[in-house]
Structure 1
Amino acid sequence: MRYAVVIEKTETNYSAYVPDLPGCVATGETVAEVENEISEAIRFHIEGLNEDGLPVPAPTSIAEYVEA
């Protein structure tokens, strides 16, 4: 499955979250690091849902850049 991920710059690092997987978040000092961390977090989150017998939400969110 392919999930949309939102990466935001904070004052000290980068943070990421997955809109379709509430509670699935990660941080990193660089964009590359937070991408790696959120990828691991997604796998871990889905593994936990499966172990608990809970449904894994389907990816439905879409991320696009829009010119303003």
Structure 2
Amino acid sequence: MSTYIALVRKEKGSSFGVEFPDFPGCISAGDSLDEAVANAKEALEFHVRGMIEDGDKIPNPSDLNLIMSKPSFKNAVPVLIDVPVVHKNKRVNITIDEGLLAKIDELAAEMGMTRSGFIAVAARKSLLESRKDKI
């Protein structure tokens, strides 16, 4: 598990915005602070997963004092976000209904994904949703 700093800001009349100094371009938002933090965690997990799939190097977490010393982050509230350790992919053999497999392949192609990638994203989404029910 790695812990990264998310910076939360709230401008008058807007939602809570979240950015990650270690991951430029990875942003999120929410109508409440809790929603913004939950959305930020999901955004960071997907961002890191995409970087790994692209073969990009994942940065080490920056020091909180260093980040908060920058004038551009002066009015932001830091929140720590944990990202699970990503494991290597493992090849598996599964049995699945032919009709369901055809629909998976069709939608995966429309989304520009592989079958394995689509199934992995669907499984992660299901796991995230099942955890929300238990919280």
Same fold (TM over 0.5): yes
Q: In structure 2, what is the equivalent of residue 41 of structure 1?
A: 43
Higher relative contact order (CA 8 A, sep 6+): 1
1:5-34 Cα shifts (integer Å, max 9, x gaps): 100002221000010111110010000000
The number of residue pairs the alignment matches comes to: 64
Unaligned runs of 5+ in 1: none
Structure 1 Cα separation of the partners of residues 28 and 52 of structure 2: 20
Amino acid at match of 1:9: K
Alignment check: 8 A CA contact 1:8 1:16 kept: yes
Change (3 A) 1:61 1:21: farther
Q: Over the residues paired in the alignment, what is the CA RMSD in angstroms?
A: 1.3
Which of the pair has more CA radius of gyration? Answer: 2
Structure 2 Cα separation of the partners of residues 61 and 24 of structure 1: 18
Out of 4, 8, 22, the residue aligned to residue 20 of structure 1 is: 22
Q: In structure 2, what is the equivalent of residue 5 of structure 1?
A: 6
> Could you say which structure has the higher helix fraction?
2
- The TM-score normalised by the length of structure 1 is 0.87
Task: Give the share of equivalent positions with the same residue, in percent.
Answer: 30
Unaligned runs of 5+ in 2: 69-135
Where do 4+ consecutive residues of structure 1 move more than 2 Å? none
